[in-house]
Structure 1
Amino acid sequence: MQKTKTNSIEDSDNGITINLKKSSLAEFTKRPVPNERDVENFEKIIEDQESEMNPPLDEDLDEEIEESLNEIYQDDNGDMVDVKKMDIKKRHGFFYWFFVVIFFLFAALGAYYFYDSHYLKKSNDAAAIEFNLSGKTDVVAGEEFFYTINIKNTGNIGISDVQIRVNYPENFKIADVYPESVKDNPSLWQFDYLSAHSANEIKIKGTMVGLKGKTGIIQATMSYMPENFSSEFKKEATLATNISDIGLEFDFDYVSSVLAGETDEITIRFNAMENNFINNFRITLEPRENLEVLAADGKAYENLADFTMDRPGVWEIKSLSQEEKVMPIRFRFAKKENDKEALLFKFEYKNKEDQYSEFYNETLNFDVMKSDLNLTLIVNGAREDQGVNFGDTLNYSLVYKNKGETEMKDVVIMVVLESDFLDWRTLKYETIGKEKGNTISWSKEEIPALAAIQKNEEGVIDFSIQIMPAGEPNQKQEYQVKSHARFSIGNIEEGKPVESDNQSNTIVNKINSDLKLSETLRYFNNDNVPVGTGPHPPKVGETTTYKVYWEINNNLNELNELVVKLVLPAYVNYDNKNRATVGDIRFDEATREIRWEIGRLPVTVFSASAEFSISLTPSDEDRNKIMVLIPGSSVSAVDSKTEAVLSQTTKAKTTKLEDDQIAQGDGIVF
């Protein structure tokens, strides 16, 4: 049986039929429009429901609410406000408040600008003056240099009545100034006006001469009056300049023990350094009542300085060079007033205005003795202290002379040698003396002439002794030999003090550091590894390279100006393969010199080494020859303690390779 499909749902209880096919809007429009009765019934139902939900209020409460509402909706005249016509004011937005903030910000900035420009700016401009000094802080004595005073007005107002006053260091000599200073016053400058944002400068040229290490301070003061001001302002600047060097080297040779009434000599040695600005100077000797300065005796000296003695104790040196010059000064103490005397020498530079400035001084101390027997001790030809080396032989000469008015009888002469490094087994005499401890003595038994020494009679005692070879250094020991002689009439009693007048000059020979240079030329190193290349012995037309090794050893004193040099033959080339534990190795193509520059070598660095390669390409003329590869190297240094110049030279090395146990042979080029 076929079923019929329906498109509606019917509710029999409520009498409602819902058409499923048609829309609800269509169904709504088909409903009948309610009449007035239906509307009244609907409103009545609504009112009843509202009454049930909101019961009636109390009358007093109603009146109170009504009064409150009236207060809200009444205007200023007591009339009710028409809410329908009421204007609603909008709140201010972001842009409103943004522009308000900007306005007040600009207003504040304007107020500050007004305050700054009228009050602060005026006072700031008055102090907006830059004032400073510039110039060299280290100079060599006599060097010409500039001081510059810089003035800059960075403000917006000009300044007037500008005055600059300078206080110079006492050892500063003015050569020129720019711009010109106030007439007859090189320390004062005046400017009528200095405009805003302008600058000026003062240049002062001059020299400083003084002792090494002396510092001079220049001070500049500036006073000025800013525009629209009634008060004066001041600025100040200072600069310190130090004399770092004098540009000259001095040395003094003299004997510190002198005999009253006897003529002695001081030899002053000097030379100009590379950076020197003093071309003449004056030497003055501080006068003393018992001191006599004598004229030159006409004795010839090598490298004698160009000088004149203006008067006793004043000498003028006319010219200088880097070559060392000597100037002898003869003097004597007329009598003995003190056991010790000091002589002060001053060295002064004369400027263009003939004004003298001291730049160096030296005090020499002397032991003055008064004795009829003059004893003079000489070691290795010198009466003064000097450095000696380990293993050296000390050759002594003791000169005695009777300077009294009568003969001297039974004279005993003793020499005292104080040192831990003398080898007494090597002592040799011209005339045998008596040894006891560290002394040697001679009497009439050894030297018959000492039985009676006539007036002005003199004699010489000669002997020699060696210094021990270098050993392990011991810093607790004094590495020196201190020597002096003394005499007595009759026997010298042991333990009895000897009067200083009976003593000779004292000589201290400090032992130089044990600097040693070893040099080896090799084809194979100590491990039998080849460090050379090419044929050996060398072959004509082919290149052979060798390695040169240098080693320096030093244990005692610190060394300065240490350098090793080697000049290569024209046929030997430097291969530029070098290494050094300290310092630098350089090769000069023009002079063909290899230099190992070390400079300072402290005691803590007791060993240093270097190596480099050389090459040889023999020509046909060299066939069947033994060729010299290195002619010998030299090492030199200055001992910091003894101030002696140490030097050593090595032997020449050939193609025989004398130092190479494997490659050594006849070394003949084939």
Structure 2
Amino acid sequence: MVDIDELKKRLYQSGEKFSDRPKQTSWQPGRPMDPVKENGVSEYWQRPVAQTPNPLKSRYIKIALISLGTLVVVGGIFWFFWSKNFDKSEVMLTLESPDRVVAGENINFLVKYQNNTNNALDNVKVVFIYPDNSLPEVGTDLVVKKTIGVVESKQSGEIIFKGKILGQKDSTKESRVTINYQPRGIQSFFENNASAQSMIIAVPVIMNFDLPEKLVSDQELNITLRYNNTSAVSFFGLFLKIDYPAGFKFGSAYPDPFQENNQWEIFELGAREEGKILISGTITGQSNDSEVFNAQIGFKNDDNFTTLAEVLGSGLISDSPLSITQSVEGAESNLVNPKDRLYYKITYQNTASVPIISANITVEIQSSALDLKSIDSDTGNFDSNTNKLFWNTSNKKDLAVLQPGQTGEVEFNVSVKDKMPVNNFSDKNFAIKTIAKIDSPNVPLSLIGTQINGESELEIKVRTEAVLSVRGYFNDSIISNSGPLPTKVGQTTTFTLYWSILNTSNNLTDVEVSADLPSYVRWQNKISPADVNLKYDSSTGKLTWKISRVVAGTGDIAPAKTVIFQVAFTPSINQVDRSPELIGRSTLVAIDSFTNEKVTAITEALRLENLFDIVNSDQKVVGN
């Protein structure tokens, strides 16, 4: 280390000039040593020296710039997404359906949608799903798709889907709807959902079986299934099917089933209307077997059956010691006509293994269609107060003791009334029901606790009578006529003809009356009433009158069903002194709605001589 004296010597040398002293080198980081000019003065003393940046300050500046850039980018992104923001909750979708419905009735499902967003919606589709076991108004698919296309901002709309809800009473059925869409300017698809529930408060079609609670094996069985529409609306296209127990052997049914002996088609079941099906057969089984009949009514689409109502009916097989059956002669297919005579045979048997004593038989008649004054029986006694026939040991000795397996018969006969007692419009569909019973007050000791009585029911339907008449007039107040009388060759005379229908005890449906007009008779196209469905085919000469229904009592408690029309007749020379036909044989064809049978009525051709107001001198054609 240099001491202080040495340093002084160096600093203060004798004769040394100030300018000759060593110059201090100026240096800063980042730049070269100061250059020294010839005069010994640094050039940095002769010009300003640039300030060196502060590193900390530069760092803050960089951070600030980066932050500002980040804010700009984030703000831009936020602005982009904010400008394109989409809230699917602003797309409103609702589904409205009745809270409480009656099964099988037509209802509306109302779908409403509204676009409350600022975006238009593209590719909009609505998918509606009916409740299970429903019947859409169109088709059978429970999933229905509707393409809407575009829904503009703030636009709304609605769609109605129609159908029937089916199910059990008090069950709840859910319908659902989905709307799918793509907001304009956004690549994603969205969907909204809605649903509605409906409770079935009533099943309007009710059914019940009428069959004996106690059944005897191998006994003929008559079953009645009644169905009733309790609602104020009609049902169309119903199907009814019955599942029989394994021990039941089908015999016959009225009306006839259309398929497999157990299915019926009910084209229309009107409001408050009821119907029934009669089934006959035999039942076999073991004692104490329960034989169950299951009936379902509903709608059928292809092979799918949707149940509207269901009922079970059952009977218990028991070894009734006394059995009884009925048969009737004169009632083919259990159908009769007025004035028919019916011959009943009651067959009874002791099926037990022990004798039964003091048996008695009764037959109760339940019908206003029979002339009870005409009842005749060799041995039976008839009580008009109870409408019952009686046989016991006093008039049928075989009933005193019935040995095991012993059979016997009793008989009676009676006439159907000439005319059914139709006094008002509810008097229709007449049937003859007989209930035969066999019993004994003396139950053998081995059969105590067992019902030994037997019972049999038989029902016969009475057909309606349809009458068709044709009348002709020259002098008529409804349609006036012209021309010479008697009719003359080459000159035209017009006549007024009447078709009239009378119907007694059952409604007629699908009624059609037809006849041919001869080639020399011309149709004048004058009809009264003007709105009837009366058509003339000029190519065939056939005249046809169609009527949807003719009620029971028409021509009795209601006016006859009548149509009036005019024809023209121009005789030819070969018809002189003759009485030509003005209209050929007239035929009525219809369906008896009670017996489900085809009904036919025919009236002979109407000739000139048959006109009601033509005197003898005018009944034949004369020459010029």
Give the alignment's TM-score, normalised by structure 2: 0.54
1:170 aligns with 2:132: yes
What is the aligned counterpart of 1:335 among 282, 287, 296? 287
Give the root-mean-square deviation of aligned CA atoms.
6.6
Contact 2:484–2:493 (Cα < 8 Å) also in 1: yes
Alignment equivalent of 1:567, drawn from 509, 512, 515:
515
Residue 629 of structure 1 is matched in structure 2 by 583
Pairwise CA distance, 1:602? 8.8
Partners of 2:461 and 2:265 lie apart in 1 by 31
1:443, distance to aligned residue in structure 2 (A): 4.5
Whether 1:610 and 2:560 are equivalent positions in the alignment is no
Q: Provide the residue aligned with 1:597 in structure 2.
A: 547
1:487 aligns with 2:438: yes
1:477-556 alignment, distance < 5 Å: 481-489=432-440, 502-507=453-458, 517=467, 519-524=469-474, 531-535=480-484, 541-552=490-501
Other-structure match for 2:419: 469
How far residue 123 of structure 1 moved from its aligned partner, in angstroms, is: 12
- Confirm whether residue 259 of structure 1 aligns to residue 215 of structure 2: yes
Provide structure 1 residue ranges, at least 5 long, that are not aligned to the other structure. Answer: 1-121, 181-190, 246-250, 270-274, 286-291, 309-314, 492-498
CA distance in 2, matches of 1:472, 1:411: 40
Tell whether the 8 Å contact from 1:268 to 1:327 is kept in structure 2 after alignment: yes
- Aligned equivalents of 2:257, 2:422: Cα separation in 1: 43
Give the structure 2 partner of residue 417 of structure 1. 365
Whole-angstrom distance in 2 between the partners of 1:475 and 1:355: 39
When residues 653 and 154 of structure 1 are mapped into structure 2, their CA distance, relative to the original with a 3 A threshold, is farther
| Structure-to-structure mapping, 1:160-239, within 5 angstroms | 168-172=130-134, 174=141, 196=153, 210=166, 218-220=175-177, 236=194
Cα distance change, pair 368–377 in 1 and its aligned pair in 2 (3 A):
farther
Q: Which residue of 1 aligns with 2:137?
A: none
Partner of 1:435: 382
| 1:660 Cα offset (Å) | 1.0
Give the Cα separation in 2 of the matches to 1:254 and 1:268.
Answer: 5
Tell me which residue corresponds to 2:51: none
- CA shift, 1:293, in A, is 1.0
Cα distance in structure 1, aligned partners of 2:463 and 2:257: 29
Residue 307 of structure 2 is matched in structure 1 by 358
In the alignment, what sits opposite 1:294?
Answer: 247
**Cα drift, residue 277 of structure 1:** 11
Name the SS for the 1:506 alignment partner.
Answer: strand
The yes-or-no answer on 1:371 pairing with 2:320 is yes
Q: Secondary structure at the match of 1:404?
A: coil
- Match runs of 1:50-199 below 5 Å: 129=91, 153=115, 156-158=118-120, 168-172=130-134, 174=141, 196=153
C-alpha deviations, 1:288-344, integer Å up to 9, x for none? Answer: xxxx51386999x99987659xxxxxx9x8x9999xx99997644643589xx8632
Query: Does structure 2 conserve the Cα–Cα contact (< 8 Å) formed by 1:215 and 1:241?
Result: yes
Q: 1:439 to 1:207 in 2, by over 3 A?
A: closer
Instruction: Letter of the 2:216 partner, please give it.
Output: A
CA contact (8 A) 2:122 2:151 kept: yes
Give the Cα separation in 2 of the matches to 1:626 and 1:456. 69
Give the deviation of 1:169 after TM superposition: 0.5
In the TM superposition, residue 565 of structure 1 has moved relative to its aligned partner by 1.2
- The CA deviation string for residues 52-95 of structure 1, in whole angstroms up to 9 with x for no partner, is xxxxxxxxxxxxxxxxxxxxxxxxxxxxxxxxxxxxxxxxxxxx
The match for 1:76 is none
Distance 1:555 1:606, change over 3 A: farther
Give, in whole Å, the separation in 2 of the partners of 1:665 and 1:379.
55
- How many residues are treated as equivalent by the alignment? 481
Q: Is the 8 A contact 1:412 1:443 kept in 2?
A: yes
Q: Is the 8 A contact 1:209 1:359 kept in 2?
A: no
User: Match of 1:578?
Assistant: 527
Q: Deviations over 1:24-46 (max 9, x none)?
A: xxxxxxxxxxxxxxxxxxxxxxx
Q: State the shift of 1:410 in Å.
A: 4.9
Greater Rg over alpha carbons, structure: 1
TM-score by length of 1: 0.51
Identify if the C-alpha distance between structure 1 residues 375 and 530 changes in structure 2 by more than 3 Å, giving closer, same or farther.
same
Distance 1:360-1:266 versus aligned 2 partners, 3 A rule = farther
How far has the Cα of 1:170 moved from its partner?
Answer: 1.1
Q: Once the two structures are aligned, what percentage of the paired residues are identical?
A: 18
**What are the Cα deviations for residues 476-510 of structure 1, in whole angstroms up to 9, with x where unaligned?**
9997654212224489xxxxxxx986353334567
- Within-5 A mapping of 1:28-39: none
CA distance in 1, matches of 2:310, 2:509: 26
Relative to structure 1, the CA distance from residue 194 to residue 656 in structure 2 (aligned partners, 3 Å threshold; closer, same or farther) is closer
**8 Å CA contact retained: 2:473, 2:612:** yes
Would you say the 8 A contact 1:305–1:327 is kept in 2? no
Q: Matches of 1:516 and 1:598 in 2, distance apart? A: 15
Deviation at 1:434, TM superposition (A): 2.3
Is 1:426 the counterpart of 2:374? The answer is yes
Q: Distance in 1 between matches of 2:325 and 2:115?
A: 74
How far off is 1:587 after superposition? 0.9
The question of whether the paired residues in 1 share the 8 Å contact of 2:238 and 2:297 is answered with no
1:547, CA displacement in angstroms? 2.0
Q: Name the aligned partner's letter for residue 215 of structure 2.
A: L
Structure 2's unaligned 5+ residue stretches are 1-83, 135-139, 226-235, 268-276, 443-449
C-alpha distance in 2 between matches for 1:544 and 1:255: 65
Distance 2:172 2:567 in 1: 51
Distance 1:374 1:424, change over 3 A: same
Q: How far did residue 376 of structure 1 move?
A: 1.9
What amino acid is the match of 2:564? E
Q: Quick one: structure 1 residues 391 and 321, their matched pair in 2 at CA, closer, same or farther if it must change by over 3 Å?
A: closer
CA contact (8 A) 2:468 2:501 kept: yes
Partner Cα distance (2:565, 2:159) in 1? 56
| C-alpha separation in 1, matches of 2:416 and 2:289 | 39
Between the aligned partners of 2:312 and 2:216, the Cα distance in structure 1 is: 19
Aligned to 2:74: none
In structure 2, C-alpha distance between the alignment counterparts of 1:542 and 1:223, rounded to whole Å: 79
What is the correspondence of 1:40-59 to structure 2 with a 5 Å cutoff? none
Residues 544-595 of structure 1: CA distance to partner in whole angstroms, max 9, x if unpaired? Answer: 43322244567877x46363512224535443211139x7232151672421
Distance across 2 between alignment mates of 1:477 and 1:418: 15
Deviation, structure 1 residue 425: 3.3
Deviation at 1:348, TM superposition (A): 8.3
Aligned partners of 1:416 and 1:222: how far apart in 2? 67
- Asked if the contact 1:410–1:444 (Cα under 8 Å) also holds between the matched residues in 2, the reply is yes
Whole-angstrom distance in 1 between the partners of 2:341 and 2:213? 24
CA contact (8 A) 1:254 1:383 kept: no
Q: Say which SS state the counterpart of residue 505 (structure 1) adopts.
A: strand
Once the two structures are superposed, residues 204-252 of structure 1 have per-residue CA deviations (whole angstroms, 9 ceiling, x without a partner) of 9x99895799997633255999899xxx99674769999xx9xxxxx99
Q: Which amino acid aligns with 1:519?
A: S
